[in-house]
Amino acid sequence: MSAPQPPADRKSFRVAILCALPHEADAVALLFDQFWDEERDPYGRANGDRNSYNTGRIRQHHVVLAVLPRIGTSSAAATTASLRSSYTNLRLAILVGICGGVPRIKDDNVFLGDVYPSHFTIKSAIEDSLRRANTDIGSLLANLEIKLNKARLQAKASTHLKHLQAATKHYQYPGIENNTLYDPKYTHRHQKGCSVCVNDPSAFCESASRAFYMETGCDSTSVVARERFAGLVDGGDFIPGIFISRIGSGNTVMKSREDQDRIAANNDLIAFEMEGAGAHKNKSWQDFAAATAASMAKAILKRYQVHDEDQETTLKNGGI
């Protein structure tokens, strides 16, 4: 079997992956089966496009990878508009990275490291610039909700996750005992060294809301006890859960978990992008979450079916 060959030009790329942060792209890059730009950039970019790209292969797809220069919906809009000016034949663009999930979806507890494929981002410039999800993408996500396909997706994503964990120690599972959820009425505050938190107990401290929980010294008595995954207590592998619905996005940080839960319930949301989530971040989980997101993205690409007219620009053989 002949080795996969790079495409002749940018018109042959059908898939794009975007990441908001470099450490999210690090996980994605480790799951590329091959890069086309090892020696040099062979494809360039359109006039006026200021993005920088990596190009390569994931499974049977030629993929272009881009990282947003800044966090925020305006930066996302500019990046995706430029991306489409250079790569004019894209059929699928995936924003891969970390988000803040709601703690419970219907009857299921949600844990750090679970994954949220979404076909709609409410109030997001990303949706506007990439257009609403077309029928192909909606059909793909509906297909992935079939129990058989969801099980296949989880199994393949777990394989990719193990590959990442073997590659670097940063992607190891932090442990179910470190999956900390606070009561929604609890206000995260600095316990010392912050004039806002110390002088006015009723004031909202944006710095504390954005901080990692170990930095503020939050009250552990406000942690909510939740069911643990069977097997994990005995050292079993973590298999990311999959929840498909809508993700919220915006430039305003919410002041409390109560705000987040209320907005999620009113708009049928399962998660928020990280800046919009606002509620306490957990630094020890961010690398792991980036790894599970990247692993699921690669598993989804395996399930993504190409059109007949794209067969010539799609590789016949894939990778891991």
pLDDT digits (tens, 9 = 90+) for 13-28: 999 999 999 999 999 9
pLDDT on residue 299 = 95
What average pLDDT is seen over the chain?
77
Q: Which residue type, as a one-letter code, is found at position 46? A: A
Of the candidates 229, 228, 218, which has an alpha carbon nearest to the alpha carbon of residue 183?
218
Looking at 122-131, 252-261, 294-303, 304-313, which range is the least confident one? 122-131
Q: Name the burial class of residue 106, with classes exposed (0-12), middle (13-18) and buried (19+) by CB atoms within 10 angstroms of its CB.
A: exposed
What percent of the chain has pLDDT above 70?
62
pLDDT of 231 reads: 42
Question: Could you tell me if 272 and 121 are in contact, meaning their C-beta atoms sit under 8 angstroms apart?
Answer: no
Please choose, from the candidates 260, 117, 64, 253, the residue with its C-alpha nearest in 3D space to the C-alpha of residue 181.
Answer: 260
- 242 DSSP 8-state letter: B
Pairwise CA distance, residues 172 & 166, whole Å: 9
Tell me how far CA of residue 172 lies from CA of 21, 166, 220, 293, in angstroms.
Answer: 19, 9, 24, 14
- Collapsing DSSP to helix, strand or coil, 18 comes out as strand
Question: What's the CA gap between 140 and 118, in Å, rounded?
Answer: 11
What pLDDT is recorded for position 108?
A: 72
Contact 59, 302 (CB under 8 A): yes
Please give the average per-residue pLDDT across 24-52, as a whole number: 96
The CA distance from 301 to 211, in Å, is 34
Question: Buried (b) or exposed (e) across 255-279, using 16+ Cβ within 10 A?
Answer: bbbeebbebbeeeebbbbbbbbbbb
Q: Is the pTM of this model over 0.75?
A: yes
* Confidence class for position 219, pLDDT limits 50, 70, 90: low
